[in-house]
Amino acid sequence: MKEQDQKWRDAIVQGGPEAEKAFSELSVFYGPKLYAQVFKILKTDNITKDVLQDVFIKIWLNIEQFQGKSSFYSWIFRIAHNEAISTFNREKRKAAISLDHELIEILPGHSSLEGQNPDQILGLLNEATNTLPKKQALVFELKYFQNLSYKEIQEITGTSQGALKASFHLAKEKISTFLSIKLNLLT
Amino acid sequence: MSNKKNILDHIKPAKIKVPDEDFFTSLATKVTDTYPKVKATKKKGVTRFLYFGYAAAAILVIGFILFQQFNAPTPQVKTAESYLAEVSTSQILEYIDAHIENYSDDEIIEIASIILTEDNEFMGDGSFLPSDIEQADIEQYINEEYINLNEFEEDELLIF
């Protein structure tokens, strides 16, 4: 676990005003990344904010249980992912989730993508990401969707940049294969 | 159209506009206000020592009480005298008045001797009779009842 994450965790476990201060700092640091992660799945600002509130409640109430065996961000990433998927499955039964704006742009040059709906492609990307191991899914999210540098991802996850590159390469290959199969089946 | 490049190179994720810092600060405040965590306080050395002292004292007291309980003398079987000692004299006299016919002279004298030896109220001036009875009244009573003093043993007469 990163030194800063450890400090935040210890302060929050102790309780009192120091805990509130640490939690505020943690929220400002990780909040934008979690928002982007959840928004990509739910596509709506209001629902994303509601889910994010639930995510931060879980972090605040359960941080004592985090033992530091993985990176702190891996832990909160998993909480956010589970909350987002759970909400997505619940909401899509009520009505189709409206898209505030397109979250991906399809560039010309690949026959399988010709004439495809960006929203449908995004759905397939989310589906493909769910098939990845936890660590690969996290790296893919941060590198591909949030466009962070390997150095930034290293600071968050504590994994070496070489291992991150290998992980991202494997994730990308798996998702490409998944998309190709799905799109060829669709056409 | 070439498909040699990875399909993901043809998909460009849009940058997601995230809320500003104030949103996350207020979100954190909302969470901590809704679920406050009280600061876990550490006991100071002296206070902790006192608690240990109290605990040790409590153990000693409990041990002493248990020791006393296990070593308490076995209760003795009560005798007729000790049962009578728990009954007030007035209660005994009331009972005797009600059941006088059921007792022999010897039993009555025995009960009377217990009363005389254990109840100082009746031994005050050495007389069994209340102090407000005059000698003349007693003599009159003896004469009226035809009591012959010569029939009594010497120690039985001491009650008069």
Report whether pLDDT(B17) > 50.
Answer: yes
Question: What integer pLDDT is reported at residue B137 of this predicted model?
Answer: 77
Q: Residue B81: CB partners within 8 Å, gap ≥ 6?
A: B114
Instruction: Look at B61 and A103; give whichever has higher pLDDT.
Output: A103
**Chain B residue numbers touching A104 (CB-CB < 8 A):** 11-14
Q: Residue A30: CB partners within 8 Å, gap ≥ 6?
A: A73, A76
Question: What integer pLDDT is reported at residue B160 of this predicted model?
Answer: 46
Nearest to residue A157, comparing CAs of A132, A130, A135?
A135
Q: Which residue has the tokens 């679920």?
A: B35
Question: What integer pLDDT is reported at residue B122 of this predicted model?
Answer: 46
pLDDT level of residue A119 (50, 70, 90 thresholds): confident
Q: How many CB atoms lie within 10 A of CB A147?
A: 12
Considering CB atoms only, which of A16, A28, A125 is closest to B25? Answer: A28
Whether A172 contacts A128, CB under 8 Å:
no
Q: What is the mean pLDDT of chain B?
A: 69
- What ipTM, to 2 d.p.? 0.82
Nearest to residue A55, comparing CAs of A89, A17, A29, A81?
A81
Local structure of A123: helix, strand or coil: helix
Displacement of CA B82 from its chain's centroid (Å): 23
Q: C-alpha distances in angstroms, A165 versus A90, A126, A131, A161, B153?
A: 35, 21, 19, 6, 127
CA distance B54 to chain A (A): 27
Report whether pLDDT(B159) > 60.
Answer: no
Helices A16-42 and A72-94, axial angle in degrees (round to 10): 50
Please check whether residue B20 touches A, CB under 8 A.
Answer: no
pTM: 0.59
The beta-strand segments (E) located in chain B are: 11-13
Whether B62 contacts A85, CB under 8 Å:
no
Considering CB atoms only, which of A26, A36, A52 is closest to B16? Answer: A36
pLDDT in tens, A84-103: 999 988 877 665 555 556 78
Instruction: Look at A182 and B114; give whichever has higher pLDDT.
Output: A182
pLDDT level of residue B63 (50, 70, 90 thresholds): low
Question: What integer pLDDT is reported at residue B123 of this predicted model?
Answer: 46
Exposure string of B122-157, with b = 16+ CB inside 10 Å and e = fewer, is beeeeeeeeeeeeeeeeeeeeeeeeeeeeeeeeeee
Taking residues B142-154, what's their average pLDDT?
63
Pick the residue from chain A with its C-alpha nearest to B10: A107
Question: What integer pLDDT is reported at residue B57 of this predicted model?
Answer: 66
Q: Please tell me the least confidently modeled range out of A167-176, A178-187, B62-71.
A: B62-71
